[in-house]
Structure 1
Amino acid sequence: MSEQGFRYLDKAAPRTEDFRLLTGSGRYIDDIEIPGALHVCFVRSPHAHARIVSIDASEASTMPGVVAVVTGRDLQQWTKPLRIAPPIEGLLAVEIEAMPVETARFQGDPVACVVATDRYLAEDAAERVQVEFEPLGAVTDMWQALEPQAPQVDPMVPGNLVSHQTFAHGNPRGVAETAFRVVESTFTQQRQTHVPIETRGCAAVWDAGRQHLTFHIGTQVPHPLRTQLAARLKLDESQVTVMSPDVGGAFGQKIALYREELIVAALARHLRRPVRWREDRLENLTAAANSREDFCRTRAAVDEHGTLLSLELEMREDFGAYCFFPANYLARVVAMILTGPYRVQDYAFDVKIVLSNKCGNAPMRAPMSMTSWVMDGTIDAIARELKLDPVEVRRRNLIAPEELPYQTPTGEVLADITPTETFEAVLKAIDYEGFRVRQRDARASGRHLGIGLCVVVEPTTYGSRFYKAAGIPGSGHEASWIRIEPSGVVNASVGLGPTGQGYESAMANAVAEGLGVDPTRVRIHLGHTDIAPYGMGSRGARSATAGGGALYLCAQQALRKVLAIAAGWLDVPDDALRMNDGRIERRDGDAWLDSGMALADVARRAYMDPTALPEGLTPGLEFHFAYDPPAMTYSNSTHACEIELDVDTGHIHIARYVITEDCGTLLNPTVVEGQQHGAVAMGLSGALFEQVIYDETGQNLTGSLADYLIASATDLPNLEIIPMHTRNRTTPAGIKGMAEGGVMGALGALTNALNDALSPFGAVADRHPLSPMFVHGLIREKL
């Protein structure tokens, strides 16, 4: 089927994995039975920063069921430290031990580990491990971190400044000096965490005879995790198998190999016994990984009509106590893509990343989440300062269709996107002019309505060339294999790590489209490093373009061989045949007729009668394809949010939420719609409720879901999604990808709507979360 008329792509279909996941037949880590497995419980530091004076495990070691108590000194003998030291200017090297030996760096830092025959016995024994600490001064916020006398978080990072990078294109400061106005705005995003339904957990089985480790873990990146696990255990990769079963959510938290997981694997090898671990919710909220906590200041030089002439960004991020990723990674992406859909060339950024005595950071769904809020919030600030309509300021600055492809000041190339089209469509859908009339009428009766707009350009591919250009180590390629069995059934695999996104359904459609078979005849195998090809896993909305693209191209490769075998059999040219729903069809003039031959017939000949194959063709139908996508592709959308603000309480009611979305060819619209809903829900929840709170001593005050609030169904609006998809011309099947833009758009649209409602008071919300107490305080300050 030609790309002008897909048979399976762009067609909504139920998620095939949902039957087992929704009927209790899923297979998660705790569903994997391992006879004789020991259980682990970690002893964690109650201090944000403290020297470990001594550890006395004598009482714990004698308790019934306790097999071992280990410390950092034990693990130094069994593991290698993690060294994060990419050759990036302005980024300092760091090293992380499997467990601290001398100093605990945040409340929740593991300092000892109890292994017992039962989880509850391990927990009881952990309470009897006596650790003597000498409390030290703690760094508790990003501003304190750079003060001259601030406590040192990491001895390898003088002054706690782990990364400092600057960039300039053009002469933004010079342009600002002669501009009509320079509008300065600030944006503060609070610290958050991922809250997956299934917390972290793993199980390790060491085969002493084969000298082989089988490691069960819910992960987004099975192969990179295996590579790191093998290296830190001083093993070859062939000695490690990583198996990732069904995973109950991740959102970026399950990319790194964390210290607890490394320790479980090391213990299994050392004790020659299976070992498993499951963290509780308290551990997950305090010691798994945090994200966000960014501050941005923009200085926008404009003319009297609100035209952007130059833009400067100052950004600071609190990365916590440990760097499981290069510290520049998350903020660097924000700085690189900040200008998004807006026309500006004179641009500069200054980005500082600091360490603090808090849980270390990891990417969280849309690690560049605040990008669109910062950019569109700056546009709204320009409109407020110059008393202009924010819609007209956007129209004046949006990249026009005829300007595409457009090279941003950081060198990113925006192509095959439709920001102007989605923007105008959302204005029509939400009836912007009619809303302004309703808003004026409502204010006259004491009601405060607001509307917020956010134009999103979402990066989706992260090809190898992007990482190279950004100075970030890593590959962006993805690999796939397809094996057509003698029966005609199709097995396929790709190196992604599914965590609930619906990959089995979506990827089956990519194979079916490329090969010409019904998706029900395709079985997708994921998450097992001995089965799946080496790929870079799931992160950054890359799975559709990189993973789906690899499978689609591999399927086309398979189709070419299938048709070559059939053509030899039927004695016709290859281009006179096609495959449709697993049947070989033959061209007859302008019509296609069934040839009487099915894929199963071709497959049997390929495997069972290779002497009958055309010259030059090898037996069997097995294919492998590795695909490195473009450096970056983009999808785009425009979000519009209508709210009503209760000025007496500060409560925000979201009355309407509309999205116009362009994310290219859809592998499965059902899956895409779910991703859109999930992303917007996550963005709104983060903007309204979520916050990891540390007090001035570094104690985490949000260790339960009674303290760390997340949105419920009653807090979220119905979403109106208007598809406006156009294909990318450089990717297989025109796939663009998506999954994180909803977070980006939600932050901007909701906050801009609130500021619109606050405009009669002259108040501006420049930080999250937008709690009723915070919003009510803004209003009271202006009364």
Structure 2
Amino acid sequence: MSESFTHIGRPLPRKEDRRLLTGRGRYLDDIVVAGALHVCFVRSPHAHARIVSIDTEAARALPGVTGVYTGRDLAEWTTNLRLAPPIEGLQPVEMTTLPVDTVRFHGDLVACVVAEDRYVAEDAAELVEVEYDVLPAVADTASALAEGAPLVDDDLSSNLVSQQSFSAGDVARRRQEAHRVVEARFNLHRHTHVPLETRGCLADWDAGREHLTMQIGNQVPHPLRSQLAARLRLAESQVTVISPDVGGGFGQKIALYREELTVAALSRHLCRPVRWREDRMENLTAASHAREYHCATRASVDADGRILGLELDLTEDFGAYCFYPANYMARVVAMILTGPYRIADYAFEVKVALTNKCGNGPMRAPMAITSWVMDGTIEAVARELGLDPLDVRRVNALTQADLPHTMPTGEVLADITPLETLEGAAAAMDVADFRARQEEARAKGRYLGLGISTVVESTTYGSGFYKAAGIPGSGHEAAWVRIEPSGAVNASVGLMGTGQGYESPLSQAVADGLGVTPEDVRLHMGHTDIAPYGMGSRGGRGATAGGGTLYLCARKAQEKVLAIAAGMLNLNDPQGLRLRNGRVERQLEGVWQATGLTLPDVARRAYLDPTALPEGMTPGLDVSLAYDPPPMTYSNATHACEVEVDVATGRVRIDRYVVAEDCGTVLNPVVVRGQQQGAVAMGLSGALLEQVVYDETGQNLTATLADYMVATACELPNLEIVAMNTPNRTTPAGIKGMSEGGVMGAIGVIASAVSDALSPFGVVVEQMPISPQSLRAALRGKTPNTK
């Protein structure tokens, strides 16, 4: 722990755990509103079809049914979503709230039933008769981009919704100069988020006040309110968004989805509270999906494996609808790909295609594929040249002498330690000892593998990053700190937690900034009438943007407290004063001494005796602050793991997993370790087990948890953390942020380890998930090279 902090860095228990673990949490389904109606959606069984007719008569006749509504009804009550940022190569897209004429994926919305309870609503939905004219579907990017392919969106000129190219340096010349040009391929499959709590909302329109209250588990309450108000043709002052406790989000609970907008519109139309809860099948088929990239790299290298030039071709399957600009996720991957390595000449071609699948959105670490692609390219170079992959990493790694380093795309890396974490992980794994054990095991027919993956994780996403990337959006955050007349401390920020454990670390940031204890701080989040307008929780910005803003705001509040305290002590100014654990102290002859004043004493003066305040000072202790962090901050880590692959069954067993991590100033080690464990677990689960599968007609074949497999504790390894944290010099308190790098590293390191284990067979992991079936198929007919 840094000596400059009293509370930041302490491993305090998570404040919210007491209520959550004792069953006193308040999730959406715990909120009871009298007279609330329930919604159930009718969904398409086809991937692509015209809606010929919808017969709702039988459903409306069912006792308890309030009404059945279609896309034409919602088109009257809401506006369309149009995404048309001025980005070259990006086609503008527009969608109605519910489809009016055409459904575009298996699970797409067709109609909605409103009833007195959920059971009646579901029964009535079964009675809605829909006649479809089935159309040809495109279920993969190759089909979508083929000449003459059926259009997913009839308003577009093609299914290529986005295409961007970039080049820095002279990659063509580097190819000519190269000792060798090495090619590699990487195919990351489709995932979905699987939050423990599925999507849901409760909308309550107050016709007298003309005000909508929307209770919804959401990561970004204020941007959601702005979208909701605009789509309902309301002023933002007519909408309140409240997020109660949220059972997981992972990026799935950011956008305003069509179901949620429909529920809000129905409440306004019916002047009744209306609620909806998604079931698991709906969540797996129709909430949002992620990943599904196809990448190819070409590395021009010298004889030592040094990368002279790098080229990337990336194609993303974006699904049927765009709730975000279609270039968003793929562009971030391409922009930060070179990450921990010293590469000056770089070019990319990024294509994003629409297909007849559930639409894509961000999932924890939208840039997750980058570490696999970059380290996988390094390993391809090592294989091609017969070099040690660890040595090739060292040759290309950024060193402290290289920093600050401007990446080819213009992103600036500073205050990171990629070579140091690489060496830290290698030392922890004792690579030489492992190689000796690996040779012994191979002689006995056992196949061990060592994987290494170095991560440079983008965290803050300040406004400058969005501007430079051509993506609409702000990265600022806002906070307030209010000290009540009794001395009680309230604080708020525009974030909303979805299980991260924000309450303790953010309280610690306030405590150190103000000079109180974390136990004295009460945090308020997730209510748009209470919290200041902020950009919410996404990426790794919770600590850097949220914690940093609260820290600065608390420092600002402390300045006023000490100015008042100076007057109370008959001092000319607050120099030499500090607030420590709620007590005002004065430095005399280098020693901090108690003054007898406390924060409650100062607060009473501020509120109840304003005429005694210093001249020109306003009453009260209510401070607000907005902060726009640097365009981007980065944390870094190196993951290393040892696996054993059973070549007879294709089973992968992880025997050891080490992470050497530099995530800057740690607000709370308990929370950070939880984030590290959770991120690695998500990455490994996705790499080994999870997969959304569609057949050639666009039917989702993984619509239940019997088919979409998620790792449990039985499949996951113990995680060893080697802390190598260094502060960032441009952010409040030196915070860097973290939470997504574990996903990135896990995907890269498991591919590296399995490829190493199967190197005697010439098998390289180019396709995920790394399932027993895929490994057996890759090994079929192969015998090990014993040389």
TM-score using structure 1 length:
0.99
Code of the aligned partner of 1:115: V
Matched, 1:276 2:275: yes
Matched, 1:545 2:508: no
Superposition pairs of residues 27-176 of structure 1, within 5 angstroms: 27-176=26-175
Matched, 1:716 2:716: yes
Superposition pairs of residues 15-30 of structure 1, within 5 angstroms: 15-30=14-29
Instruction: Give me the whole-angstrom Cα distance separating, in 2, the residues matched to 1:185 and 1:263.
Output: 45
Instruction: Give me the whole-angstrom Cα distance separating, in 1, the residues matched to 2:197 and 2:518.
Output: 29
Instruction: Give me the whole-angstrom Cα distance separating, in 2, the residues matched to 1:592 and 1:253.
Output: 50
Instruction: Give me the whole-angstrom Cα distance separating, in 1, the residues matched to 2:551 and 2:781.
Output: 58
Instruction: Give me the whole-angstrom Cα distance separating, in 1, the residues matched to 2:660 and 2:7.
Output: 23
Instruction: Give me the whole-angstrom Cα distance separating, in 1, the residues matched to 2:406 and 2:339.
Output: 10
User: Is contact 1:49–1:103 with CA below 8 Å preserved after alignment?
Assistant: yes
Instruction: Give me the whole-angstrom Cα distance separating, in 2, the residues matched to 1:134 and 1:764.
Output: 44
User: Is contact 1:679–1:739 with CA below 8 Å preserved after alignment?
Assistant: yes
SS in 1 for 2:575: helix
Could you tell me which residue of structure 1 aligns to residue 593 of structure 2?
593
Superposition pairs of residues 378-457 of structure 1, within 5 angstroms: 378-457=377-456
TM-superposed CA distance for 1:739, in Å, is 0.4
SS in 2 for 1:637: strand
TM-superposed CA distance for 1:5, in Å, is 2.3
Could you tell me which residue of structure 2 aligns to residue 657 of structure 1?
657
Could you tell me which residue of structure 1 aligns to residue 607 of structure 2?
607
Q: What CA deviation, in whole Å up to 9, does each residue of 1:256-300 have, x standing for no partner? A: 000000000000000001000001000000000000000110000
Could you tell me which residue of structure 2 aligns to residue 289 of structure 1?
288
Instruction: Give me the whole-angstrom Cα distance separating, in 1, the residues matched to 2:499 and 2:390.
Output: 37
Code of the aligned partner of 1:57: T
Instruction: Give me the whole-angstrom Cα distance separating, in 1, the residues matched to 2:2 and 2:715.
Output: 41
Q: What CA deviation, in whole Å up to 9, does each residue of 1:586-635 have, x standing for no partner? A: 11111101100100000000000000111121100000000000000000
Could you tell me which residue of structure 1 aligns to residue 183 of structure 2?
184
Could you tell me which residue of structure 1 aligns to residue 362 of structure 2?
363
Matched, 1:564 2:536: no
TM-superposed CA distance for 1:765, in Å, is 1.1
Runs ≥4 residues deviating over 4 A: none
TM-superposed CA distance for 1:737, in Å, is 0.2
Q: What CA deviation, in whole Å up to 9, does each residue of 1:294-352 have, x standing for no partner? A: 01100000011101000000000000000000000000000000000101111000000
Matched, 1:777 2:769: no
Code of the aligned partner of 2:619: P
Instruction: Give me the whole-angstrom Cα distance separating, in 2, the residues matched to 1:3 and 1:405.
Output: 24
Superposition pairs of residues 322-361 of structure 1, within 5 angstroms: 322-361=321-360
Could you tell me which residue of structure 2 aligns to residue 669 of structure 1?
669
Instruction: Give me the whole-angstrom Cα distance separating, in 1, the residues matched to 2:175 and 2:781.
Output: 31
Superposition pairs of residues 305-324 of structure 1, within 5 angstroms: 305-324=304-323
User: Is contact 1:765–1:778 with CA below 8 Å preserved after alignment?
Assistant: no
TM-superposed CA distance for 1:782, in Å, is 2.6
Q: What CA deviation, in whole Å up to 9, does each residue of 1:30-84 have, x standing for no partner? A: 0000100000000000000000000010111011000010000001110000001
Instruction: Give me the whole-angstrom Cα distance separating, in 2, the residues matched to 1:239 and 1:109.
Output: 30
SS in 2 for 1:252: coil
Instruction: Give me the whole-angstrom Cα distance separating, in 1, the residues matched to 2:87 and 2:9.
Output: 41
SS in 2 for 1:261: helix
Instruction: Give me the whole-angstrom Cα distance separating, in 2, the residues matched to 1:582 and 1:139.
Output: 64
User: Is contact 1:303–1:309 with CA below 8 Å preserved after alignment?
Assistant: yes
Instruction: Give me the whole-angstrom Cα distance separating, in 1, the residues matched to 2:522 and 2:781.
Output: 60
TM-superposed CA distance for 1:177, in Å, is 2.0
Superposition pairs of residues 382-781 of structure 1, within 5 angstroms: 382-572=381-571, 573-781=573-781
Instruction: Give me the whole-angstrom Cα distance separating, in 2, the residues matched to 1:156 and 1:335.
Output: 28
TM-superposed CA distance for 1:391, in Å, is 0.6
Instruction: Give me the whole-angstrom Cα distance separating, in 2, the residues matched to 1:773 and 1:60.
Output: 45
Code of the aligned partner of 1:462: Y
SS in 1 for 2:503: helix
TM-superposed CA distance for 1:155, in Å, is 1.7
User: Is contact 1:3–1:733 with CA below 8 Å preserved after alignment?
Assistant: no
Code of the aligned partner of 2:371: S
Q: What CA deviation, in whole Å up to 9, does each residue of 1:688-744 have, x standing for no partner? A: 000000001100000000000010100000000011110000000000000000000
TM-superposed CA distance for 1:178, in Å, is 2.4
Q: What CA deviation, in whole Å up to 9, does each residue of 1:14-34 have, x standing for no partner? A: 001001111111001000001
TM-superposed CA distance for 1:763, in Å, is 1.1
TM-superposed CA distance for 1:4, in Å, is 4.5
Q: What CA deviation, in whole Å up to 9, does each residue of 1:360-413 have, x standing for no partner? A: 001000000000010000001100111100010000000111111000100010
SS in 2 for 1:127: helix
SS in 2 for 1:606: helix
| Structure 2 CA distance for partners of 1:140 and 1:781, relative to 1, 3 Å | farther
Instruction: Give me the whole-angstrom Cα distance separating, in 2, the residues matched to 1:359 and 1:353.
Output: 14
Q: What CA deviation, in whole Å up to 9, does each residue of 1:163-209 have, x standing for no partner? A: 00000001112211221100000000000000000000000000000
TM-superposed CA distance for 1:3, in Å, is 6.6
Name the count of aligned residue pairs. Answer: 782
Code of the aligned partner of 1:362: G
SS in 2 for 1:388: coil
Code of the aligned partner of 1:630: P
| Structure 2 CA distance for partners of 1:434 and 1:3, relative to 1, 3 Å | closer
Code of the aligned partner of 2:700: N
Instruction: Give me the whole-angstrom Cα distance separating, in 2, the residues matched to 1:69 and 1:696.
Output: 33
SS in 2 for 1:159: coil
Q: What CA deviation, in whole Å up to 9, does each residue of 1:537-562 have, x standing for no partner? A: 00011111001110000000000000
User: Is contact 1:49–1:107 with CA below 8 Å preserved after alignment?
Assistant: yes
Code of the aligned partner of 2:462: G
SS in 2 for 1:492: strand
TM-superposed CA distance for 1:781, in Å, is 4.2
- Of 564-573 and 487-496, more deviation after overlay is shown by 564-573
User: Is contact 1:148–1:159 with CA below 8 Å preserved after alignment?
Assistant: no
SS in 1 for 2:357: coil
Instruction: Give me the whole-angstrom Cα distance separating, in 2, the residues matched to 1:158 and 1:758.
Output: 45
Q: Aligned Cα RMSD in Å?
A: 0.8
Instruction: Give me the whole-angstrom Cα distance separating, in 2, the residues matched to 1:482 and 1:257.
Output: 29
TM-superposed CA distance for 1:157, in Å, is 2.2
Instruction: Give me the whole-angstrom Cα distance separating, in 1, the residues matched to 2:177 and 2:611.
Output: 79
Code of the aligned partner of 2:267: A
TM-superposed CA distance for 1:355, in Å, is 0.1
Q: What CA deviation, in whole Å up to 9, does each residue of 1:479-520 have, x standing for no partner? A: 000100111110000000110101111110110010010000
Code of the aligned partner of 1:649: T
Could you tell me which residue of structure 1 aligns to residue 255 of structure 2?
256
SS in 2 for 1:642: strand
Code of the aligned partner of 1:662: D
